[in-house]
Chain A
Amino acid sequence: MEGAAMNAVVPMTVPLNAFLAVGTILFVIGLAGVLLKRNALSMFLSIELMMNAVNLLFLAYARMRGDASGQMVVFFVIAVAAAEAAVGLAIFVALFRAKRTIDVDQIASLKW
């Protein structure tokens, strides 16, 4: 795809693996947040961090291959994250108004 070609002519000074490592570490930190935190809002924040970590991997591969499609994917991820944040936060506000808490241990109506 000719139109997608980008600036791969310039070699990368920072190795690709360094970006991959940083992205993966950030993803794991986000995962830890989702698994260890009990506040729904903090878990949601951690999910945002995980999405951004994956975005970094997309950008690294896009740069590596000189293909702008990776950047397009990141663009869509950011837009979907905006929609997700709007709906998710509205759900939390509604939940808080109904239950007076957003602690996931205390919101167990859908369990069993």
Chain B
Amino acid sequence: MSLELVVFAIASGLAIVSALAMVVVKTPVRSVISLVVTFFALAVLSILLAAPFIAAIQVIVYAGAILVLFLFVVMLLNLTKEAEATDRRPIQKLLGLVSVVALGGLLLGVTLRAGAPPVPAAGGLIPAKDEIPILGRLLFSDYLLAFEALSVLLLLAAVGALVLSKRRFD
């Protein structure tokens, strides 16, 4: 068994277990922490898939920025009290579980049956250490419009968040 397989097994097991913990655990703070663990495991999987840049921004942006923001809001709203609010809807819960299992089986079957896409011809391929220049070139050529739109979107999100938190809702 190769080292890569061992790393894959550990990382994917950790990701799935902590994702399950995120759903099962009742306290929002613990959910966020388990999701951080999931994201770190996903970063390991990204490195296995020869995407170190994505792994880095996964850790910095997702685990570092977005989930800290979540944690901040959880603490700000002091959500521990309503965590144990009893669920009075057994039928809806059962229906949700049934549809999750059904849709999950369907999705798993479809993705695994889709199989491998045709691999392009192996000419002119570039080794992994040159990955970030390739991404940079793509970002500023083929994806330039999307990149500019993204910068506008981030500006709008910042302004929107500010407006939403300033306005009084009565």
Contact = CB atoms under 8 A, between A and B. Distances in A.
Contacts of A30: 19, 23
Contacts of A25: 16, 104, 108
A62 B112 CA distance: 16
A107 interface: no
Interface in B145-162: 146, 150, 153-154, 156-158, 160-162
Contact of A59 (B51, B131, B138): B51
Given A52-B39, A85-B70, A94-B164, A68 B77 contact: no
B116 interface: yes
Size category of the binding interface on chain A: 35 or more
B81 to A, nearest CB: 10
Contacts of B32: 45
A90 B28 CA distance: 17
B5 to A, nearest CB: 6
Q: Ordered nearest first, which 3 A-B pairs have the shortest CB separation?
A: A83-B157, A28-B104, A35-B96
B165 A31 contact: no
Given A14-B4, A28-B100, A6 B69 contact: no
A26 to B, nearest CB: 5
Q: At the interface, is chain A mostly helix, strand, loop or mixed?
A: helix
A5 to B, nearest CB: 5
Q: Tell me the interface secondary structure of chain B in the complex.
A: helix
Interface in A90-112: 90-98, 101-103, 105
B16 to A, nearest CB: 6
Interface string A31-73: 1110111110110111011001001110111111111110110
Given A18-B8, A32-B97, A52-B62, A82 B104 contact: no
A36 B96 contact: yes
Interface in B84-130: 85, 87, 89, 93, 96-97, 99-100, 103-104, 107-108, 111-112, 114-117, 119-120, 122, 124-128
Contacts of A19: 45, 49
Contacts of B74: 41
Nearest to A91: B164
16 contacts: A3-B141, A5-B120, A13-B2, A28-B107, A38-B85, A41-B70, A52-B38, A78-B61, A79-B61, A82-B65, A82-B154, A85-B66, A86-B157, A87-B164, A90-B160, A94-B165
